[in-house]
A and B are shown apart, each in its own frame.
Chain A
Amino acid sequence: MKFSRRDLLVWGAGAAAGLVVTPVPWKLLDDTSKWSQNWPWIPQPARGPVQVKQSACTLCPNGCGVKVRMASGWPVGVAGVASHPVTRGALCPLAFGAHQLNWHPDRLRTVRHHGSPASWDDARAAFAKACGEGRVVVIDGYPGRAASAVLEAFAERRGEYRVVRGAETRALTPYEKWSGVPAESFGYDLENASTILSFGAPVLDGWGAPGRFTRLWAERAAGQVDPLMRIIQIESLLSRSAGRAYQWISIRSGSEGILAAGIARVLLQEKLVKTGGPIPEVTLDEAALLTGLDATAIRELARTIVVRGPVIAIANDNNPSVAALNVVLGAVGTRGGVVRRSKTTKVYASADAAIASARAVILDSSVPWNFVPQTDAEVFRFAAWNGSPTKTDWFLPAPGFLEERTDVPTAPTSGVETYALAASLAKAAHKTQSCAEFLVSVDPSLSSAEKIIHTRCAELFHAKRGNLHSREETAVAKIASAQKLEEQLWSGAVWLGEPASGESIRCALKQWPAADAGSPSDWTASWAAPVMPPLASKLYQESGLRESQRRNA
């Protein structure tokens, strides 16, 4: 029989009718929608046990306490440690996305020599050769670590050790000049200060250990905790700190020093302070002219700040006039002022960008990216991330966030000594080496950072000073053995020294410092990485919250 077109149509109709009473159409509808809910090309988080580890953040020298969520061996979240004695659970915005930094596209994955890939052995050989031929300058951005000690020891034999100081430490250098006490052992006793006179310092915007001050301010400006705190922000523009400050005084930019001098003059002339000091040459009217305020305003300001003591002036950077104002206010070496937190007397040579007559310069990964040595020496730079191109012969991939076993000394602005250890929680996806490890591999006679940490813990234990803060607080004296102490530190506990005894510091301040002395330097970052966590930079961009990528040169 012949199969006509009509038959085909009818057959099709029958098939269609039949298909409706089979699972085919319905199952397809269901499964395709399920497919759209589980597209295979969309990454999903791994399944597996979740555990929480405690450590200290190493992205900048402030060493905030971090709580790291780990899933199947990888960090999946960062939060603050509420029990941390200094930062008390607060972190800077960048820390919350920091666990993604190690996967940043700009991560340095191989040794690079003049832009082309090289091996670690090449680098080692080149560096050894350089050491044989002349002086080596070792530059450190984060002094005080065991790793720094390694760098220092190496430098003693082969050249010299220099330190790049962050803005917060630089602000303390005048006291170093006047008293001989190294800037690194000064700090601010903010916990007891009552009036904070900030000369352009971003006190509410990531200054010092970001959590420490913002949290103090939040509690005490609201009067929840005594003493009540007032921030007087002296700044040309309405910055974040100025916006939230108790009072914002808008002056011409760069005239902070002049205003400090003006205030000091009023304080001294009107005998508003007990302490004496050299009267600045600048007259009140000159100060008014240069700052853009009027004389009465300056006089008013001087009077208001002494009403509610202790008062402390904080400079944004190395600004001797502001430091001198603190001397006049008697805020140096007193409770609620600039205090000496440690006994160390070692003064480091501060690194200048210009480095002459050296065969090689080696930079630790803690050196801010925007510190670019001006030198014709061979430059070896350790970095975990690759920033904007800079004159460097060797790029050496350093451990990223949470990848390095290191110790975390006291934060630059802290009023109390602290000591913490950061275990390596994340495994590096590729071969990395820290500067210290590299130097030890070049000169095996050096003792490794690991050993130094070990001895430091032993010393801490034998000194029997201070307390260990983990979930609860225990006096060092009560801890069984040095080993126990070290174990606890590795598992995220923090050692906290006794609060600074208000020992007065003699500042030999003969005459008022020249206004232009100690101009702020061109590198500002304490955040060493040239990149920001992708989420942070993205969200800042999308929210328009920060015009430029903050802390990122």
Chain B
Amino acid sequence: MSSAALADGRWIARGEERVSLPRFLAWLSPWVVVLAIGVYAAGLCLYYGLNQTNMDNRFAFGLWIFLDLGIIALGAGAFFTGFLVYILKRAELRPILNTAVVVGFICYSGAVAILGIDVGQPLRFWFTFWHPNTHSMLTEVTFCITCYLTVLCLEYIPIVLRNRQLRKLPSFLVFEHQLHKLVPVLAGVGTLLSFFHQGSLGGLYGVLRGRPFAFRQGVFIWPSTFFLFILSAIATGPSFLMLVTATVESVTGRRLVSNDVFRRLGLISGVLLGIYVAAKSIDTLIWLNRTSPSEGFAAWQYYIYKPFGTPVLFAEIVLFGLLPAFLLTFRRTAERRGWLLSGAALACCGILMNRFVMTVQTLALPTLPFDEFLRYTPSWQEIASFGGVIAYGVIVYSLSYRYLPLFPKSGGENSHVSGN
């Protein structure tokens, strides 16, 4: 059916095919419910305090930190694609650029929202900027994420302004054009910022001298995890973009980007993942044989507690590292959508697992000889707010997809995208 027939047709880009409004709302409604519950749960946490969660003095970080690290890592596709397109001039990746920006925006805003609940005194957030402790990785993270979120907004706005109705406002159009000139600069700035906070997020745990499971020796001023996190993030970012695009394609039943874009993304992802796996393996060996023993902790001590046995380590490096690296790189598998996407999926699982291990396993393991191994199960409030963020993401993306020109359509709409 043609867009004109739709109730909200005049908001949809000219000539774009979209499902009818009722069907669209039907698709949104369950997500809206999830979001509503999430918002309610978050409200509880803000009003009654963090006693609403199942975190405690020993398990001071929980599901939320895992979520933050996870989605920020997956959101890395945004800056990395921007980097590839604007800095390295890989024009062939333009088609997924807008999606990358939207996904990035969703991930980062979601993470910041969760952080807002996770701290005990949100009203004091600005102390970090007013009395910053420059030694703290968390300060670095806070600064970079805040700045980069602003950058993402600035990158997102032009896309929003390209909406069919909004473009009618002349001043907006002017604004959009000006802003768009800025985008390459923003991409550069964003890249810098992202490199730093992806790293700092790794540093967050790498510096914990008191947690030998997470502590890593320094390279320059940063612990090795600093670089590992950057590597893993840029390696899996493109994979996640592939997954998102593929999902949208299957949902809408429409081809959005050409196969070779996928192939390209897969290649980038695969190669970087390979490098990451190599680096990670070396780092692990150094840690097991040097760093940890020097602190008085024998390596075996970490892996005697179920479910965190050595299989976890194996899965993280081989199953979710080496394997997808192969799947994504080699022609024979990468040519096939199925293999390519499963490779991408594995890669994403891998990075999530890595973040999980760094956050949760670190806290679960004992430090003092007379400590015990700890367990923790999130409360429904934690899970609900988690779900809320996911739902928020889906909703924002769906709206963007429906009303904004995310993907190139033959001719017309994406003419700015290709910047000619």
Which A residues contact B (CB, under 8 angstroms)? 6, 29, 32-33, 35-36
Contact = CB atoms under 8 A, between A and B. Distances in A.
From A6, A29, A32, A33, residue with most partner B Cβ within 10 Å: A33
Interface in B110-128: 121, 123-124, 126-127
Contacts of B124: 33, 36
B146 to A, nearest CB: 15
Contacts of A32: 123
B283 to A, nearest CB: 39
Contacts of B126: 29, 33
Contacts of B121: 36
- The interface residues of chain A, by DSSP majority, are classed as helix
Contacts of B127: 33
Contacts of A6: 169
Interface string B179-206: 0000000000000000000000000000
Contacts of A36: 121, 123-124
A33 B126 CA distance: 9
A6 B124 CA distance: 36
Chain B residues touching A, range: under 10
11 contacts: A6-B169, A29-B126, A32-B123, A33-B123, A33-B124, A33-B126, A33-B127, A35-B123, A36-B121, A36-B123, A36-B124
A6 B169 CA distance: 9
Nearest to A32: B123
B112 to A, nearest CB: 17
A33 B119 CA distance: 14
Contacts of A33: 123-124, 126-127
Contacts of B169: 6
A36 B126 CA distance: 13
A32 B124 CA distance: 8
A177 B128 CA distance: 76
B303 to A, nearest CB: 28
Contacts of A35: 123
A33 B127 CA distance: 9
Given A32-B123, A33-B126, 6 more contacts: A6-B169, A33-B123, A33-B124, A35-B123, A36-B121, A36-B124
Nearest to B169: A6
A29 B126 CA distance: 8
A33 B124 CA distance: 5
Nearest to A30: B126
A32 B123 CA distance: 7
Nearest to B170: A6
Contacts of A29: 126
Contacts of B123: 32-33, 35-36
Q: Which of B121, B123, B127: most chain A CB closer than 10 A?
A: B123
User: Top 10 closest A-B pairs, CB basis?
Assistant: A36-B123, A33-B124, A32-B123, A33-B123, A36-B121, A29-B126, A36-B124, A33-B127, A33-B126, A35-B123
Nearest to B127: A33
A35 B121 CA distance: 11
A32 B125 CA distance: 11
B140 to A, nearest CB: 22
A340 to B, nearest CB: 47
A36 B49 CA distance: 12
Interface in B79-135: 121, 123-124, 126-127
B127 to A, nearest CB: 7
Nearest to A36: B123
A386 B85 CA distance: 77
A36 B124 CA distance: 8
A79 B106 CA distance: 58
A271 B127 CA distance: 80
B374 to A, nearest CB: 15
A35 to B, nearest CB: 7
A35 B123 CA distance: 9
A32 B169 CA distance: 38
B266 to A, nearest CB: 45
Nearest to A31: B123
A190 to B, nearest CB: 33
A184 B196 CA distance: 77
A23 to B, nearest CB: 15
A29 B130 CA distance: 11
A31 to B, nearest CB: 10
Interface in B153-178: 169
Nearest to A29: B126
Nearest to A35: B123
Nearest to B122: A36
